Amino acid sequence: MVGVDLLPAQIVQSGRLELAMESGETEKLKAASLGNNGLILYRRLAGKKDDQLELIKIDTALKETWKGYITLGKNVGLLRVQHTDELFFLLFRDRSFIGGDFQIVGVNHRNGAYVLYTIKNLIPFNPTEFLITKQGALIGGYFNYRPIILYYNFKQQRSKVLPGFFNEPGELDQLKSYPDGSVDIIVSAKNYEKRRSLWIRNYDSLGDLIKTTILKPEEGKNLIFGRSVKLPNGEQIVAGVYGRFSDYSRGIFVAGINPVGEYAIVYYNFAQLQNFFSYMKARRQKRIKDRIERKTIRGKKVKFNYRFIIHDIIPYQNQFIMTGEAFYPHYIYPTQMFSGYRYNPTSVAMPGSYFNPRLRNDVIFDGYQYTHAVVIGFDNNGKVRWDNSFEINDVKTMQLEQFVKIKPEKDRIVLMYLFQNTLRAKIIHDAEVLEGKTQDPVKTNFNNETEDIQGLENEQLDYWYDDYFFAYGVQRLKHESGRARRVFFINKITYK
C-alpha cells in the first residue's frame, strides 16, 4: 500500500492585477466588491475647473471590462459606497456650506451607465452610515451627539427624517436591511435609570416605524454595543458586549426577542469563555486561568475589562457566529523641544490643535492597538456552544475598523488579515484549531522583485465571492537590478 503525504493547508494567491502609478501620483485607487460580478475600482482625479471620478470595472478573472468618468464639482466630497446586485452606489455631499445637500450616484456595473439623485438636506448633521434598501437609501449620522437617519425613496424622489430619533444623545450601532425592504436600526443610549440600553426600531420599506423594542440590562450592567439578525419565524437575535461602565466590556450578551417584543438576555463574562485568552503566550495564559480558578473556588467574581468592538452576526449551520476584536488606545509623549509649540497633524484626539511640548504630561493619541479577534458560536436560545480567538500582531490604526475577516465554510472557518504586506491566517472548526497561524507575503508578478515595506500604501483585505478574498493597495517594488516601480495591485486569494 502506497502512503499519501497530505499537503499542509496554505494561502493560494491565484491571480494578480497591476496598474502602474507614477512616483508622484497621489490619488489612490480604492476597490469594492461586487460579489460574483467582480470588483469596481474608483478614485478622484483633480482637474482645473471640475474633478473627475474614475471608475474601472474588473471581472472575477481580474480583467478590465469597462472604464468611465463622472464629473464632480470641486466642493463635492465622496463619503460612502454601497452595492446591490445591479448597481454600485456612491454617496456625495456638497461641502460648500454646513449641512450641504447629498447626492447619490447609482452606477450600473454591467455597462457603466449611471443615474444621479439629489437629496435636499435641511439639517447640518455629520453622516457616518450609508445603507441601500429595496426602495431607497438611508443616511445615518449625528446632530449635536444625537442620532439621526435620513431616508430617501428612489421612486418618489423624496426624503424624510425617520421618526424615533433626534431626541437624546446616543450611538448608532447598526443599520440592517432585509429582502422585503424593511430595516432594523439599533441605537445604544442611556435610559431613565442612567443605564445604557439598546433601542431596536423596525421600519417598513417606505420608512414608516413599525415597532420599537428596548433591551434593558439588569442592575449593575450596561449594554454597550449590539448587532442583530432576524430568524425566518419572526424572532430576532441580538448579541453584543456589556460592561459595568460604558467604555469597557466585561463580557458578551445574547438576547432572543419574540415577534411581540418579549425578550430574555443571557450574559457571559469573558472568563467564562474557553479560548478568549488563548491568543496569549502559554505562560501568561496559564497565569490568567490560574487566577480565574482561584477566584472561582473562593466564590469571587472574575472581572476582566476590555475595549471590544463587535462586527458581525452570521447564521452558520443551525447556529450563529459572532465576531469581534479587542483593542486599546495607544498614546505617546510629544517630542521634547526647547521652546515654542509644535503642530502634530497625526493626532486625531485633538485634530488641528496645538500643544506645548514643555508640558511633560501631555500625551498624543497614536492609534488603536489591536490584541486579538474572537469568534463565538451560539444557538437560537443564546447559549454559547464554543469560542475561539486569533492573535493580531503589531496592528495599529487611526480608525476603528474590522481587521480580521472571517469566512465560514462547510467544515471549517477561515480567519485572515493583512498587515505590512503579509497575509496571516488561522483555520478553526468551532473551538478546535485545524491549522495554526500561517504567514505569507503578498505575491508579485516577478520573482526578481521585492516589496518595499516603507512604500506600502492603503493596503486592505476584504471579502469577494464564494471562498475568495481580495487584497489591494499600492506597492513600491524593487528589481534586483536596482530599478523601482510603483503599482496599484489586486491579488485574488483563497485558502486550500
Angle value at C-alpha 372, between 368 and 378, nearest 5 degrees: 125
How wide is the angle at C-alpha 216 spanned by C-alphas 211 and 218, nearest 5°?
160
Q: Distance between the two ends of the chain, CA-based, in angstroms? A: 26
Q: What is the pLDDT along the chain (496 residues), one digit of tens a residue?
A: 333 334 456 899 999 999 998 766 667 899 999 999 999 999 999 888 999 999 999 999 999 999 999 999 999 999 999 999 889 999 999 887 777 899 999 999 999 999 999 998 888 888 999 999 989 999 999 998 899 999 999 999 999 999 887 678 899 999 999 988 899 999 999 988 889 999 999 999 999 999 999 999 999 999 999 999 998 888 999 999 999 987 899 999 999 999 988 999 999 999 999 999 988 888 888 888 888 888 888 888 778 889 999 998 999 988 999 999 999 988 887 654 334 433 333 333 333 333 333 344 567 888 899 999 999 999 988 899 999 999 998 888 888 889 999 999 888 999 999 998 999 999 999 999 988 888 999 998 887 777 777 778 889 999 999 999 999 999 888 877 778 888 999 999 998 8
d(CA 353, CA 364): 11
For 233, left (φ over 0), alpha (ψ -120 to 50), or beta? alpha
CB 405 within 8 A of CB 397: no
Within 13 A of 470's CA, how many CA atoms are on the CB side?
26
Closest CA to 199 of 182, 216, 183: 216
Is residue 89 within 8 Å of residue 42, measured between CB atoms?
no
3-state secondary structure of 411: coil
> Phi, psi (5° rounding) for residue 227?
-130, 155
Torsional class of 420: left (φ above 0), alpha (ψ -120 to 50), beta (otherwise): left
Smallest CA-to-CA distance from 31 within 469, 400, 473 is with 473
Which amino acid belongs to residue 480?
E
Residue among 427, 416, 421, 424 nearest 454 (CA): 421
Tell me if 330 sits within 8 A of 369, measured CB to CB.
yes
Nearest in space to 489 (alpha carbons), one of 430, 440, 446: 446
Residue 388 makes CB contacts below 8 A (sequence gap 6+) with 275, 278, 374, 375, 428, 430, 431, 433
Taking the C-alpha atoms of residue 441 and residue 462, their distance in angstroms, rounded to an integer, is 16
Q: Long-range contacts for 58-65 (Cβ within 8 Å, ≥24 apart)?
A: 58/17, 58/31, 58/490, 60/36, 60/464, 60/465, 60/468, 60/492, 61/15, 62/15, 62/16, 62/17, 62/490, 62/492, 65/38
Phi, psi of 63 (to 5 degrees): -110, 140
C-alpha distance from residue 140 to each of 82, 99, 160, 240 (Å): 14, 13, 12, 20
Dihedral pair phi/psi, residue 160, rounded to 5°: -160, 155
Q: What is the per-residue pLDDT across 115-137, written as a single tens digit (0 to 9) for each?
A: 999 998 888 888 999 999 989 99
Phi-psi region of 411 (alpha: psi -120 to 50; beta: other; left: phi over 0): alpha
Sheet of 263-269: strand order equals 222-230, 236-243, 251-257, 263-269
Domains of the chain by residue range: 217-326+367-441
Three cell numbers at 387?
Answer: 469560542
How far, CA to CA in Å, does 131 sit from each of 254, 301, 311, 464?
A: 25, 41, 16, 19
Mapped onto helix, strand or coil, the DSSP state of residue 282 is: helix
- The whole-angstrom separation of Cα 418 and Cα 462 is 9
Residue the block writes with cell 492597538? 369
pTM above 0.75, yes or no: yes
Kindly state the greatest CA–CA separation across the chain: 81
| C-alpha cell at position 269 | 463574562
Q: Which tens digit of pLDDT belongs to each residue from 229-259?
A: 998 888 999 999 999 987 899 999 999 999 9
Q: CB-based contacts of 479: which residues, under 8 Å, 6+ apart?
A: 446, 448, 449, 485
